[in-house]
Chains A and B, each alone.
Chain A
């Protein structure tokens, strides 16, 4: 029996194989095209020089100026407040939006739901620091602009995850409460809220954790917190202070992530 007589096995048909190759080729072509456009003004001498520059900066950064730590407690407190108060505000505003956006709780699928979804995508598309840039230009620099910026960015995040959780609830529990003759508000309280409460707590704490990280940089555009010190130190090229600030940020973020993981673990 010759080899040709044996049945051949191939993972894909020729057509599928061709399609895959074409897909990959298109991706590579897109990458090369974008790369060419992006780097047309790049000065390669600077890029090749980067390792030396990087080593130089690291050399200047070390050792961190530990004594500067005492000047950072105030800004750190502000950073914490921006994240926490901003998250709280986002929760207060985001929860109603979530109920308006969820298919099973919205008062109107044709009018209100698309509006709520638009609000969510608008809030999610714009980064907190851009909101901060805008708010500093409107309200002036300060912690308030930071809080509002964090809140505006987080509304969409909280509302999106929460409305997905609302849409996934077990409908039979709602039916059961409805069948007892409960009013809509009671159905909300007895059938819907208990089902989404764990998701709600998880989402809130998760966003708080992200917001801690975001609020460390809001100061760069004047919206308060430890970013202000970073900006000031960068302006005078005080690299040892920069490195200390980076260490403090790293520690804060690690701690907040740990807290958030613990809380989420506790509520689920």
Chain B
């Protein structure tokens, strides 16, 4: 132990990426990108400076939200948002079950698999608001377009997660059911459903939460809900009413989160 001098007295931590060229290349690339990205920002600082005063008014609005002046509009918007959330979540989940099963590699035949996967990819790639624009063009303004939008998005979201769950199941359990001579539907019912059900319920509650948040958005393009009220309030620079709407959204999301975590415990 005493011949410490025999041991090296320097040590460097081995780098995370071994090849120096790749390592420095990545660093240089990141720096270059940041420089270019920040350089291409065009900011009208005068406009921003003028905006600060409105920003303060918004912050002040948050401290003194005004629920009364636009209460009629807020109530209608909230009613549309909430009903749209409930109906679209229910319909979306129901439809996502066949899509999810169809998109599970271990259950569906190849053509069905590809069709379902493609549908899911498209449904997930487009932001709700783009879908809402198209639905508004098809069925006209109002919450029905919002309902269609959120149902569509729900199918994509739930379908993908459900398919992944089904692909991750314990094959042995499905094998055992298949070995009893069960039909395809019985296989789903006995071999698959018990394994994916708990997570499906959890995801449904989570999606309910997301759908409410999204229902506040689709109104911006005329698909009903609280978003339209919010848009109007902001157009008129009524920051105190806007703050009231935002606070309502936050409170409802909080309630939904707490009750869904409670509900999940209760169901298990």
Name A's B-contacting residues (CB within 8 A): 27, 30-31, 34-35, 37-39, 41-43, 46-47, 50, 53-54, 57, 77-78, 80-81, 84-85, 121-122, 124-127, 129-130, 133-134, 137-140, 142-144, 147, 213-214, 216-217, 220-221, 230, 234, 246, 249-250, 253-254
Of the candidates B38, B133, B217, the one whose C-beta lies within 8 Å of that of A234 is B133
Are B130 and A127 touching (Cβ within 8 A)? no
Are B55 and A138 touching (Cβ within 8 A)? yes
Q: Would you give the shortest CB distance from A217 to chain B, in whole angstroms? A: 4
Of the candidates B90, B139, B237, the one whose C-beta lies within 8 Å of that of A137 is B237
Q: Would you give the shortest CB distance from A152 to chain B, in whole angstroms? A: 12
Given A57-B134, A130-B217, A139-B51, residue A34 in contact with residue B86 (CB < 8 A): yes
Interface members, chain B 133-153 (any A CB < 8 Å): 133-134, 137-140, 142-144, 147
Assembly CA distance A81 to B38 (angstroms) = 8
Given A129-B217, A130-B217, A214-B127, residue A138 in contact with residue B54 (CB < 8 A): yes
Are A31 and B143 touching (Cβ within 8 A)? no
Are A35 and B230 touching (Cβ within 8 A)? no
Given A34-B83, A130-B230, residue A81 in contact with residue B140 (CB < 8 A): no
Are A77 and B40 touching (Cβ within 8 A)? yes
Q: Would you give the shortest CB distance from B24 to chain A, in whole angstroms? A: 18
Chain B hits for A47, CB < 8 A = 139-140, 144
B47 contacts chain A at the CB level, 8 A cutoff: yes
Assembly CA distance A199 to B122 (angstroms) = 28
Q: Would you give the shortest CB distance from B108 to chain A, in whole angstroms? A: 21
Interface members, chain B 221-258 (any A CB < 8 Å): 221, 227, 230-231, 234-235, 237, 242, 246, 249-250, 253-254, 257
Task: List the 9 shortest-distance A-B pairs measured between CB atoms, nearest first.
Answer: A34-B83, A125-B253, A38-B83, A140-B47, A46-B140, A253-B125, A34-B86, A139-B51, A50-B138
Of the candidates B79, B231, B254, the one whose C-beta lies within 8 Å of that of A133 is B231
B82 contacts chain A at the CB level, 8 A cutoff: yes
B1 contacts chain A at the CB level, 8 A cutoff: no
B268 contacts chain A at the CB level, 8 A cutoff: no
Are A50 and B48 touching (Cβ within 8 A)? no
B87 contacts chain A at the CB level, 8 A cutoff: yes
CB-CB nearest in chain A for B235: A137
B32 contacts chain A at the CB level, 8 A cutoff: no
Chain B hits for A214, CB < 8 A = 127
Are B42 and A85 touching (Cβ within 8 A)? no
* Count of chain A to chain B residue pairs whose CB atoms are closer than 8 Å in the complex: 143
Q: Would you give the shortest CB distance from A47 to chain B, in whole angstroms? A: 5
Of the candidates A31, A78, A85, A140, the one whose C-beta lies within 8 Å of that of B87 is A31
Chain B hits for A139, CB < 8 A = 47-48, 51, 55
Interface members, chain B 162-213 (any A CB < 8 Å): 213
Assembly CA distance A221 to B129 (angstroms) = 11
CB-CB nearest in chain A for B44: A140
Given A50-B138, A138-B55, A144-B43, residue A38 in contact with residue B147 (CB < 8 A): yes
Return 6 A-B CB contacts under 8 Å, by A number: A35-B83, A38-B147, A41-B142, A77-B40, A217-B129, A249-B125
Given A37-B79, A121-B257, A217-B130, residue A127 in contact with residue B139 (CB < 8 A): no
Of the candidates A35, A84, A121, A246, the one whose C-beta lies within 8 Å of that of B250 is A121
Chain B hits for A246, CB < 8 A = 126, 130
Are B213 and A38 touching (Cβ within 8 A)? no
Assembly CA distance A130 to B54 (angstroms) = 16
Are B37 and A81 touching (Cβ within 8 A)? yes
Q: Would you give the shortest CB distance from A208 to chain B, in whole angstroms? A: 13
Are A122 and B216 touching (Cβ within 8 A)? no
Chain B hits for A53, CB < 8 A = 137-139
Are A254 and B121 touching (Cβ within 8 A)? yes
Q: Which of A38, A80, A249 has the most CB of B within 10 A?
A: A38
Of the candidates A30, A38, A77, A127, the one whose C-beta lies within 8 Å of that of B80 is A38
Are A126 and B246 touching (Cβ within 8 A)? yes
Q: Would you give the shortest CB distance from A82 to chain B, in whole angstroms? A: 10
B58 contacts chain A at the CB level, 8 A cutoff: yes
Chain B hits for A130, CB < 8 A = 216-217, 220, 227, 230, 246
Assembly CA distance A50 to B246 (angstroms) = 33
Given A130-B216, A250-B122, A250-B126, residue A30 in contact with residue B48 (CB < 8 A): no
Given A47-B144, A142-B43, residue A34 in contact with residue B51 (CB < 8 A): no
Given A213-B127, A230-B130, residue A143 in contact with residue B42 (CB < 8 A): yes
CB-CB nearest in chain B for A35: B87
Chain A hits for B142, CB < 8 A = 41-43
Interface members, chain B 65-99 (any A CB < 8 Å): 79-80, 82-84, 86-87, 90
Chain B hits for A147, CB < 8 A = 41
CB-CB nearest in chain B for A129: B217
Given A217-B129, A234-B133, residue A38 in contact with residue B40 (CB < 8 A): no
**Besides A137-B235, A249-B130, 5 other CB < 8 A contacts?**
A31-B87, A37-B83, A38-B87, A127-B217, A130-B220
